Amino acid sequence: MTIFLTDADVRAAFGWPEAVAALRAAYSAPPDEARFPPRTMARGEGLWLRTLSGVPGDGAPMGAKLIAASPRNRRASYLIPLFDQETAELLALLDGNAITGFRTAATSALAADALAPVGPLKAGVIGSGFEAQHHVRALAAVRELSSVTVFSPNPAGRTRFTERLADLGVPLYQADSAEAAVEDAALVLCAARSRDERPTLRQVRAGTTVVSIGSTLPEQRELGTEVMARAALIVADQVHEVAHETGDLIAAKEAGADFAGKLVGLADVISGRTPGRSDPDAIVVYKSVGSAVQDLAVAAMCVRRAAGLSLGTELPVTITPVAK
């Protein structure tokens, strides 16, 4: 029968190391663009429905994430159905609300682990919300953090950030500016939208690994043109979307930056098909817009762990596959 996982079930079943491991397996599968088509968006008057679908190449359940939104009413719902690849049976339905934040941070941790220099990392974080907090927890699950310094425009937000992450046992500091937060950091995490769409990160030192998750649309900016132009390598979870649909790369290309040979896919780096960091002094950027690869890998992991923890509700009825 089909298992339904509520948002509370998903949170209880989730684990950072397990999520990163699931994503590593997903991104190591042989490449096949047909397995994960571009996302689609249906729009109405003040409404939209986004669909991200995929058939994982590692044999894990196929499925989709559906996001139904009513921006005029400030409401959204997330649904993830998972199907067995052999039988087409509906294995699970998940409330996908928490999955989005978890999968973004876990994928960033996977990328940072592959791209950052070996050894403890001093991290600078721009942003103090749940995405920034998730990212620090995900990073701490895969790498030793020597310290974390956070900046956000709101001092109360910075304080909440340090209070909520105190259990990690990592030295946590607050900075009064983005520049101060990142000046000595080996790893810089950008997880805050600029309200006026001006870049939140304008300068980094040589050897820095930058993780950028806060600008996913043409009108959004997060990384300054100089940062993008100086990057020796830009790793993208979705190469085409990052190249043509994110404000950071659009602005840098308009300013004359050339990304030929510098923009590669995360799957190519994780699988070893393309080398990652080759120079300790290089600036390396990981740019994320999100993908079904991430949603399905983390959702399937949650279903597996939920079974072992006796979480979820078995539905009294389900969808019966039909012969075709």
Are 200 and 126 within 8 A, CB to CB? Answer: yes
Annotation: CATH topology of 101-287: Rossmann fold (3.40.50)
Residue ranges per structural domain of the chain: 3-99+292-314, 101-287
Task: Pick 3-99+292-314's CATH classification: 3.40.80.10, 3.30.1780.10, 3.40.50.300, 3.40.50.2020.
Answer: 3.30.1780.10
Express each pLDDT in 293-317 by its tens digit. Answer: 999 999 999 999 999 999 999 999 9
Is the whole-model pTM more than 0.85?
A: yes
Confidence of residue 199 (pLDDT cuts 50, 70, 90): confident
User: What is the reported pLDDT for 194?
Assistant: 59
Tokens at 83, concatenated: 């199907």
Are 179 and 124 within 8 A, CB to CB? Answer: no
CB within 8 Å of 145: residues ≥ 6 apart: 120, 121, 122, 123, 136, 139, 168, 170
Express each pLDDT in 228-242 by its tens digit. Answer: 999 999 999 989 888
Tally of residues, the chain? 324
Express each pLDDT in 93-151 by its tens digit. Answer: 999 999 999 999 999 999 999 999 999 999 999 999 999 999 999 999 999 999 999 99
Q: Is the pLDDT of residue 88 over 80?
A: yes
Q: Is the pLDDT of residue 323 over 60?
A: yes
Higher-confidence residue: 254 or 64?
64
